[in-house]
Structure 1
Amino acid sequence: MKNKMKWIMAFLITFSVVAISLFEKNGMMQTNIKEITSSGEDFVMLRNWTKGLLNPDGTTPDSITVTAPLYEGKLATFSTMQPFSNGSLLSYKENISIRARQDGLVIFTGHTQSLGKTMTIIYENGENVTYGFLDELTILPYTSIKEGETISNLTTGRLYLQVEKKGTILDSTAIKEWIK
């Protein structure tokens, strides 16, 4: 019964956020619910509050303590980098797995006209990262991801990367440092 109540609360919270968002869109309400639920610090606060509702003792039953990095980053092995749209376009001569930099939430997966298969993730530190020109989309929106988890694979070719940190979109030079 207790577990059922947690899921009912989670459903009600989600329904409320979606309803308020629709009211905002139609001009019936003036709030910043979309910004609150998709921006860094507010997102982390809302996520932690929801986790507290679902698991009040703060434990995560499927967590494992790790003492070493989970993976070696392959993003830094790009051949070329050039500015593109609001981010950078990186080219790769080998296949790579794109992995989550840290725990986060997938807020968008889909196909866009300019970036093809695209995924946007908000990481726990508040960074909002968009990956474009992906080969596959296997994670649904509003799915939690863990550090080191493969979010997509990329065969030889290009990858679009846009990083927003504290409300500022990083330029190509800053993205190069961010990748390291």
Structure 2
Amino acid sequence: MFKKWKWLVAILLVAATMLVIRLEDQGVLETPVRKLVTTSADLTYLSELGQSWLNKDDATILVSSDVGQTELLTFANAEVFKEGFLLQYDMGLPVYAGKNGLVVFTGHTKYTGKTMTISYDDGTTVSYGMLDSLAQLPYTTVQANDLIGMKETGQLYISIEKDKAQYNLEQIVQWLETAESNEN
């Protein structure tokens, strides 16, 4: 019975916050509620409060799956482009970090559109371009198998560099095949 009350209180809190924000938008309230609630300290406090109410720790389910760069090996065609290759995919796929590393660039470039570059701990620097969405922010660390972006059907740009040398297609395929196994 107590858990039902927790959910009800959480729902009421969210509804009240939405109502106050709507009143602020309509000019009924002069207090800038969004500024009061959207500082990082407030958000952290609200998150911790919500988790304590809902006992999220008790509901945690560990899930394991074999994900990684191996899905990138399903490309239908490859062609040389700039310092890397355009890989053609007939279906959409998630793009995962191949190893542990640091996101050194996330943004839009003239030739490769939405692009993410990761400097992996093994010394390789990999650029993934022509992504449809990005899932990581710049200067954040990633672990092997963290989602970094999504690619719909079409071309994905990939470029790998190590020791100031660009990988050819055969080396890229080999790196994709071994990236996950090196972390496990």
TM-score by length of 1: 0.60
Unaligned runs of 5+ in 1: 1-67
In the alignment, what sits opposite 1:92? 89
Question: Residue 129 of structure 2: which of 119, 128, 132 is its match?
Answer: 132
In the alignment, what sits opposite 1:153? 150
Deviation at 1:176, TM superposition (A): 2.4
Deviation at 1:70, TM superposition (A): 4.3
Deviations 1:106-143 (A, max 9, x none): 00001001110010000110110000000012311100
**Residues 114/153 of structure 1: CA separation in 2 closer, same or farther (3 Å cut):** same
In the alignment, what sits opposite 1:59? none
**Does the residue aligned with 1:83 lie in a helix, a strand or coil?**
strand
Is the 8 Å Cα contact of residues 138 and 152 (structure 1) preserved in structure 2? yes
Q: Is residue 71 from structure 1 mapped to residue 67 from structure 2 by the alignment?
A: yes
**Does the residue aligned with 1:125 lie in a helix, a strand or coil?**
coil
In the alignment, what sits opposite 2:167? 170
**Does the residue aligned with 1:74 lie in a helix, a strand or coil?**
helix
Tell me how far apart the structure 2 counterparts of residues 139 and 69 of structure 1 sit (CA, whole Å): 20
In the alignment, what sits opposite 1:105? 102
TM-score by length of 2: 0.58
Stretch deviating more after TM superposition (127-136 or 70-79): 70-79
Higher normalized helix content (fraction of residues)? 2
**Does the residue aligned with 1:89 lie in a helix, a strand or coil?**
strand
Letter of the aligned partner of 2:145 in structure 1?
G
Letter of the aligned partner of 1:98 in structure 2?
V
Percent identity over paired residues: 39
Paired residues, number: 114
Tell me how far apart the structure 1 counterparts of residues 71 and 77 of structure 2 sit (CA, whole Å): 14
Unaligned runs of 5+ in 2: 1-63, 178-184
**Does the residue aligned with 1:158 lie in a helix, a strand or coil?**
strand
In the alignment, what sits opposite 2:24? none
Tell me how far apart the structure 1 counterparts of residues 143 and 110 of structure 2 sit (CA, whole Å): 29
Is the 8 Å Cα contact of residues 103 and 146 (structure 1) preserved in structure 2? yes
